[in-house]
Structure 1
Amino acid sequence: MTPRRHVVSLLASAEFARAYTIAGLAAAFGSFLIERLTSTVTLATIVTMLAITGIGMLFARRDELTLLRFAPTSLVGFLALALISVLWSTDRSETLSGWATLFGYTVIAITIGHVRDTLQTVRALGDTLRWLLALSLGLEVLSGILLDMPFPALGIEGNLALGGSVQGIFGTRNMLGFVAVVGLITFVIEWRTQSITRRVGTLSIALGAFLALLSASPSVVVLAAGVGVATTALTIVRHTPAHRRVGVQWALGALVAAALAVAFGIRHLIIRMLDAGSDFSTRADLWNTILDYVAQKPLTGYGWFGPWAPSDSPFTAINFALSDHHRTALNSYFDLLLQLGWIGLALFLVLGGVATVRSWLVASVRRSVVYAWTPLMLVTLAVESMFESFTLTGAGWLLLVLCALRAGQTRSWRQNIDDAQTGAIPTLGPMG
């Protein structure tokens, strides 16, 4: 075998695909730790090398891929808009840098989506998060109890002995809470599909729940409630006879809409109950200020940046007006309005919304519980996007692209075209 054939064979192998998936997930979820222990350049180099390797893997597997089902159209449109925004950006170099980071994580997610199926992805994510959450707890114990001193280099404040809040290796309590909830969903799916032993499943769920509690993040309560409601609704739909399923779907949709309306009406009471008044007040002031700037460029925004560039407009002016130093809008939707305008927000909503509907419909008819992972993850990202901008970068963006790709592979107009061309019969039925 020639060296070229050997490399291609390696890139196309299942063993390399598993190693790549774990490496990609570890880089995305461990990005804060990598950046703090090394540098931003090191993290960028890791993401770049993973993206290049991913392109090589996709090339090695090109015979297994079809152009129609390669990536969602809305994703391509969003990436194109973010790149084109360099034309009206207030800082073109920062826009190109932010887009390159976005594109790098996109390539990693697309690669994982094509070389691993849903169960394999869930197992790889479960393994990755078990180690990262365990490392977080270990460092918090070391900092808050054994040494009783903070680890500023890692962003760990050492509050464990005081009952929290803790950050782990993720930088903030909100990010730790988000990762813990993602881990909980993944661990439960692993346990239900018997991918892990009962002992490992029990310990993993306990670890995720414990760190979610210790994070003391107000958004975790809302996130857990949203995921709980989605899980209950999906369970009801999955156990409903096929001839009644459509009616039940509409009834649940109406019920959720009514519940959201009621929650909005009593939002101040909910905020007091969550003891999140100061957090919400900070966000409300920030969002009101952002809307003032959005009104100046409502359609296109100020150009794509991802995390804010503190020295660039309009971010400097917003922080100056608030006497603060925000690095994001603390809300994915407001961030998109500011950076890419209503056009960017619309593309983002289409990307996430269509993926949620597709994956929900698939999960409601397939027997295996593994199909519930994608819609529950998308619900998690949608709810978290109301409190943080995690979905627009790093691990959050990788999960969104991965879930959108997975949903498009199992139920889309592309599949119908592809099946018609190949003579294949669609298999979207109540089978596992």
Structure 2
Amino acid sequence: MSPRRYVVALLNSAAFARAYTLTAIAAAFTSFLITRMMSPVSLATIIAVLALLGAVVLLVRREELSLLRLAPTSLLGFLALALLSTLWSSDRSGTIAAWTTLFGYALIAVTIGHIRDTLQTVRAIGDTLRVLLSLSLAAEILSGILLDTPFTAFGIEGNLAIGGPVQGVFGTRNMLGFIAVIALITFVIEWRTQSIGRTAGVLSVALAGFLALLSASPTVVVLAAAVGIGTTALTIVRHTPPERRDVMQWLLGALVVGALVLAFALRHRIISLLDAGSDFSTRADLWNLSLDFIAERPITGHGWFGTWPRGQYPFTYINFQLADHHQSALNSYFDVLLQLGWAGLALFLILGGVAIVRSWLVASVRRSVVYAWTPLTLLTVAVESMFESFSLTGVGWLLLVLCALRAGQSRSWRESIDAAHTSAAIALRPERGDG
């Protein structure tokens, strides 16, 4: 076999697909750790190499892929607008660098979505998070109990002995809480699909739940409630007879809208019940000030930067006014408004909203419980986006793109075009023996 054929065979193999997926997911989830242990340049290099490798893998597998279904249209539109914002950005090189990172994670997610199915993806994420959550607990025990000293280089404050909050190897308690909830969803799906044994399932769920509790993140309570309600609603729909399922879907949709309106009306009481007044008041001040700068460029925004850079308007001015050093708007929707305006927010909402609806409809009719992972993960990302900007960078953005792609693979207008094209090709293909 020639070297070229060997390389093509390797890139097209199932073993390479599994190795690539595990490596890419591990790199995304350990981005903070990589940055602290090495440097941001090292992380950027790793993501760039994985993105380029993903592009080569997609090229090698081009015959089994459809160009129409390669990526969601809303994702392409969002990426195009972010790149176009270079024209009105105050720092074009900074915008290009931020866009390159955004595109790199998206390309990795698209590659994973095409070379692994849902169950294989869930198992890869589950294996990765079991290791990282175990490492987080070990680091907190070492810092908070055995040595009784903070590991400031890794953002670990050593508060385990007093019951938290803990950060693990993810930098902040909110990120640990977010990842712990994603892990809980993933571990339960693994357990229900018998991808892991009973003992491993119980221990995995206990580990994720324990760290979610120790994170003492106020958003974890909201996330847990949202995932619990979403799981209950999805279970009800799945067990509803097919002839009544549409009515049930509309009823649940009306209840969701009503709950959102009620939650907004009672937001102050909810915040006090969560005992998170200081955290949410900080966010409220940040959001109110951000609105002033959003009003300057409401349609196009100030240009894409992702994580807020130092020394750039309006981010530095916002932090100066608040006497703080925020690296984001602590809300994905406000961040998109600030950076890409209402045009960007519309594309972002379409990307996430359409993905949730598609994946929900798929999960409500498919027999396997593995299809519930996509809508529940998207729900977690959507709710977390109200309190953090995780879904615009790193692993949050990767999960959003991966789930949006996965949802579009099962329910998409392009699926009908592909089916029609395939049927026409079969009809036009001459039978064997025809002249």
- Common fold: TM-score over 0.5: yes
The separation in 1 between residues aligned to 2:265 and 2:346, in whole angstroms, is 26
Which residue number in structure 2 is paired with residue 327 of structure 1? 327
Which residue number in structure 2 is paired with residue 238 of structure 1? 238
What is the identity, as a one-letter code, of the residue corresponding to 1:268? H
Which residue number in structure 2 is paired with residue 419 of structure 1? 419
Which residue number in structure 2 is paired with residue 317 of structure 1? 317
The separation in 2 between residues aligned to 1:274 and 1:232, in whole angstroms, is 22
Q: Does 1:89 align with 2:104?
A: no
Q: Does 1:202 align with 2:221?
A: no
Which residue number in structure 2 is paired with residue 407 of structure 1? 407
In structure 1, runs of 5+ residues without a counterpart are 425-432
The separation in 2 between residues aligned to 1:395 and 1:42, in whole angstroms, is 16
* 1:227-258 deviation digits (Å, cap 9, x = unpaired): 11111111000000000001111111111222
The separation in 2 between residues aligned to 1:56 and 1:76, in whole angstroms, is 19
What is the identity, as a one-letter code, of the residue corresponding to 2:39? S
Q: Does 1:213 align with 2:213?
A: yes
Which residue number in structure 2 is paired with residue 155 of structure 1? 155
What is the identity, as a one-letter code, of the residue corresponding to 1:139? A
Deviation at 1:55, TM superposition (A): 0.9
Which residue number in structure 1 is paired with residue 337 of structure 2? 337
* 1:327-380 deviation digits (Å, cap 9, x = unpaired): 000000000000000000000000001111111110010000000010111101
Which residue number in structure 2 is paired with residue 346 of structure 1? 346
Deviation at 1:224, TM superposition (A): 0.6
Which residue number in structure 2 is paired with residue 427 of structure 1? none
- Which secondary structure state, in structure 1, belongs to the residue aligned with residue 210 of structure 2? helix
Deviation at 1:423, TM superposition (A): 2.2
The separation in 2 between residues aligned to 1:398 and 1:158, in whole angstroms, is 30
Which residue number in structure 2 is paired with residue 125 of structure 1? 125
The separation in 1 between residues aligned to 2:400 and 2:410, in whole angstroms, is 16
Which residue number in structure 2 is paired with residue 8 of structure 1? 8
- Which secondary structure state, in structure 2, belongs to the residue aligned with residue 423 of structure 1? helix
The separation in 2 between residues aligned to 1:48 and 1:225, in whole angstroms, is 37
The separation in 1 between residues aligned to 2:39 and 2:265, in whole angstroms, is 45
Q: Does 1:103 align with 2:103?
A: yes
Which residue number in structure 1 is paired with residue 433 of structure 2? none
The separation in 1 between residues aligned to 2:80 and 2:241, in whole angstroms, is 43
Q: Does 1:229 align with 2:229?
A: yes
What is the identity, as a one-letter code, of the residue corresponding to 2:207? L
What is the identity, as a one-letter code, of the residue corresponding to 2:397? W
The separation in 2 between residues aligned to 1:347 and 1:395, in whole angstroms, is 20
TM-score normalised by structure 2 residue count = 0.97
Q: Map 1:4-403 to 2 at 5 A.
A: 4-403=4-403
The separation in 1 between residues aligned to 2:94 and 2:153, in whole angstroms, is 25
- Which secondary structure state, in structure 1, belongs to the residue aligned with residue 397 of structure 2? helix
What is the identity, as a one-letter code, of the residue corresponding to 1:300? T
The separation in 1 between residues aligned to 2:262 and 2:59, in whole angstroms, is 51
What is the identity, as a one-letter code, of the residue corresponding to 2:149? M
Deviation at 1:417, TM superposition (A): 0.6
Deviation at 1:385, TM superposition (A): 0.1
- Which secondary structure state, in structure 1, belongs to the residue aligned with residue 27 of structure 2? helix
What is the identity, as a one-letter code, of the residue corresponding to 1:356? I
The separation in 2 between residues aligned to 1:19 and 1:137, in whole angstroms, is 26
- Which secondary structure state, in structure 2, belongs to the residue aligned with residue 297 of structure 1? coil
- Which secondary structure state, in structure 1, belongs to the residue aligned with residue 354 of structure 2? helix
Which residue number in structure 2 is paired with residue 429 of structure 1? none
What is the identity, as a one-letter code, of the residue corresponding to 1:82? A
The separation in 2 between residues aligned to 1:355 and 1:128, in whole angstroms, is 24
The separation in 2 between residues aligned to 1:100 and 1:260, in whole angstroms, is 35
Deviation at 1:264, TM superposition (A): 1.6
The separation in 1 between residues aligned to 2:84 and 2:409, in whole angstroms, is 28
What is the identity, as a one-letter code, of the residue corresponding to 1:101? T
The separation in 1 between residues aligned to 2:334 and 2:262, in whole angstroms, is 23
The separation in 1 between residues aligned to 2:96 and 2:21, in whole angstroms, is 26
The separation in 2 between residues aligned to 1:37 and 1:116, in whole angstroms, is 30
The separation in 1 between residues aligned to 2:254 and 2:301, in whole angstroms, is 33
Which residue number in structure 1 is paired with residue 430 of structure 2? none
* 1:240-293 deviation digits (Å, cap 9, x = unpaired): 000000111111111122222222222111111111000010000000000000
The separation in 1 between residues aligned to 2:223 and 2:358, in whole angstroms, is 21
- Which secondary structure state, in structure 1, belongs to the residue aligned with residue 104 of structure 2? helix
- Which secondary structure state, in structure 2, belongs to the residue aligned with residue 339 of structure 1? helix
Which residue number in structure 1 is paired with residue 429 of structure 2? none
The separation in 1 between residues aligned to 2:83 and 2:260, in whole angstroms, is 35
The separation in 1 between residues aligned to 2:95 and 2:267, in whole angstroms, is 36
The separation in 2 between residues aligned to 1:75 and 1:261, in whole angstroms, is 28
What is the identity, as a one-letter code, of the residue corresponding to 2:191? W
What is the identity, as a one-letter code, of the residue corresponding to 2:342? W
The separation in 2 between residues aligned to 1:295 and 1:344, in whole angstroms, is 14
In structure 2, runs of 5+ residues without a counterpart are 425-435
Deviation at 1:221, TM superposition (A): 0.3
- Which secondary structure state, in structure 1, belongs to the residue aligned with residue 245 of structure 2? helix
* Superposition misfits of 4+ residues, deviation over 2 angstroms: none
The separation in 2 between residues aligned to 1:51 and 1:24, in whole angstroms, is 9
- Which secondary structure state, in structure 2, belongs to the residue aligned with residue 196 of structure 1? coil
- Which secondary structure state, in structure 2, belongs to the residue aligned with residue 111 of structure 1? helix
